Each structure stands twice: as C-alpha cells, then as structure tokens.
Structure 1
Amino acid sequence: MRSRALQALGTAAVLGGTAFAYGSVAERNWFALRRLDVPVLPAGEAPLRVLHISDMHLTPGRHRLMSWVRSLDALAPDLVVNTGDSIAHAHAVQPFLEALGPLLDRPGVFVYGSNDLFSPAPKNPLRYLWRDSSHEHLRHIPDLPWAELGAGMGAAGWIDVNNHRGRVKAGDL
C-alpha cells in the first residue's frame, strides 16, 4: 500500500513538474500572431490593417518577446491598438516602449489593463475551491508606473482611450 502511495506521489510530482516547465518555458515564449479578415468597409475601399497588441505582461528580461514585438512593424499596420496588460514590473515601461519601437511612429490607441496598474501577486490556484475570492481584487492604489506608460505612448501621438474617445487618421480613413 505504501509503495502505491509513493508511486502516485512520484507520478504527481513528475506531472506537476512537466506542467510547470511547459508553462515556464514553452508557453511563456509561444507568441501568437493571428490574422483575420473582417469585411466591414464598403466595396472598393482600401483595406485597413489593424495590429492588436494585448497581454504582453512584460518584465525587463523578456528579450525574445521584446524582439518579436519590434518585428511586428514589418506587418505595416495602418493602426496599432494596445488593449493593455502591457507591463508586469515597475521597470518595464522603457523596455516596453523600446519594444514598440517603430510601431510608435504609426497611428495608435491604447487603454490600460489591470496589470498596467497593479503588479502581479502570486496566488494559489486552489484558493477558488475553499473561499470567496471577490475581495481579492480590491487593491485601490496602483503600484506600477501606469502614468509613465501612458505618457510614453501619448508622446508618440497615440490616443489614450481610457474612458475617452478620439479621432485618428489610419490608412485612407
């Protein structure tokens, strides 16, 4: 009986380690570019190429991610839309802006995600099983440099659409 328990424990440890390694190494560096054609413009209009950036959760050492984001300028988007969760570290603003690089020369709009305001906090995923987690999202004072992040994108001419609206010239529109 004891050997079965040890075998089960060993199997669980190997599976857990494999899942952790996959999430820490493979998934973390598996960047996705999805292409969609959305037929909303009138017939005969030139297409509008929109690059949507989201959920980078950038930390200063993520050089592969920064390089990949920088390479997206080769897609020649007419408009860049950043829907937030761009940073996950207090020192990630400048690396993020450098990663955007030439994309900042293109028309753009942005909003903040919660991870642009509040630094990530380790959480036990099993907490959902034994208690109400609704009170865990009640941090009121942002601890990440969101204003610096917005100022950097705004200085490039990107429009802050957090509870605002604006006009942007993109492509022939």
Structure 2
Amino acid sequence: MGEMEPRAEEWLARALSQVEADHGAVHLLFPQAERRGGTGARRALLAALHGDQATIRALYERGDSGERLTILAALPELGLGAAAIPLVEDALRTNDARLVAAALGPYGAQWLDDHAFRQGVLKCVFMEIPLASIAGLDRRTDVELTRMLSDFATERRAAGRPVPHDILERI
C-alpha cells in the first residue's frame, strides 16, 4: 500500500473526527470512504466506532457487497465478541462466494458454533470455494465435518462427477 495522496489523507482525518464526535456520521461517510479516503479508510472508520454494535450492524445491512466484505474482514479487530455472529450468518446465506468465504474468516472460525461452521464449510464446498481459504479449518475439523465431506465425496462419485482435490485431502 502506497502513501495516500494529501487530499485522501485530509478527507480521512476529517471523516474520522466526524465519526468520533457522532457515530451516525459514518452512514454518509462509509460508502464513499474507499474512493475519497483511500485503501483502508473503511476499516479506519469502523475502528473509530469503538465497537458500536448497532451502527456496525446497520452499516452491514445497508451496505453493498464491497462494504459488507470490509465489515466481515474487520470483525476480528472490532472487539464485538459474539455480537456479530448474525452478520456472519447472513453472509453464509448469500450466494456471493466472496461473502461466504469472508464469513468463514478468522471471526467466523472463532465465534460460529460447530453446526454453523460445518454448514458453512459445506456451502463452500458446493460453491467451489477452496477449503484453504477457510480460517481455522484444521482446528475446527471434527468427526462430523469429516463425515459430511466424505458423504459429499461419495455422492459426487456416484454421480460420476469429480471430487475436488482439497476434499480428498481431508477425508
């Protein structure tokens, strides 16, 4: 990441001051942050919310895919504990492979319960998202997840379809 242009740096400094003074200001600033404040500006604005769960959730719910991706990626840094699980669960219900993969990043790996994590992994398999992109997969793999992946492989073979290599490595 290169240095920000002075105008972007100034915009971001003003935006952060506004958000620090009034968290509601982030609703106008967040959508334009990457364009006006440069790479990382959205994450900086999220950090300035100091764990304001309601505002972060509202940003996610109103956000486009890019904004949602930023929020999902930033979750481990926001100090929300388990409060952001509904955002991760929402992302896992989408058909956007980028959101599904982001949902199974470090935050999802830490906070999702075993059932939700397993279902997320299986969704990745169906969406052909590489298992290597799933945070904590080695740590979270259990007998039930191995069984689910094995069943998937059996069904693929029975249908005459190839089994993805990363699944074969896990069963």
Q: Comparing both structures, which one devotes a greater share of its residues to helix?
A: 2
The structure whose RCO (Cα within 8 Å, separation 6+) is larger is 1
Instruction: Report if TM-score (shorter chain) is over 0.5.
Output: no
- How does the TM-score come out when normalised to structure 1? 0.31
- How does the TM-score come out when normalised to structure 2? 0.31
